Amino acid sequence: MQAKHYATNVSVDRPDIQAFVGSLMEHGSSKGVFVNTSSFSTQAMVSVCHLSQRVILLGGITLADLIPAKRGFARTDMYHHADEGVDCLKIT
């Protein structure tokens, strides 16, 4: 598992995923989870589709959905990531 806290205007790109997969291979693992508080570039998302390893990408929106609202967390600061055409959550 790898977790990153990037600024809302910075997305995880393909080289970050490639480095993560290299680390998985080095440790003999066939699965991994990459958590990021902002978003993933299109190239990063496409790259995991062609891997022999199973890599799950959890970005800001998905991450926010996993946090129970009863604990005081809510989607309150949304913005649109024009480059990727997706809505993102700013987690502060």
pTM of the model: 0.66
CATH number for the domain harbouring residue 43: 3.40.1350.10
Element (H, E) at 26: helix 14-26
Q: Distance between CA atoms of 83 and 92, rounded to whole angstroms? A: 22
Element (H, E) at 42: helix 42-49
Six token digits for residue 62: 């998905």
Q: What is the mean pLDDT of residues 63-87?
A: 56
Domain of 33, in residue numbers: 2-89
How many domains is the chain partitioned into structurally?
1
The pLDDT-based confidence of 92 (bands split at 50, 70, 90) is: very low
Nearest to 20 by CA among 7, 1, 6: 1
The pLDDT-based confidence of 19 (bands split at 50, 70, 90) is: very high
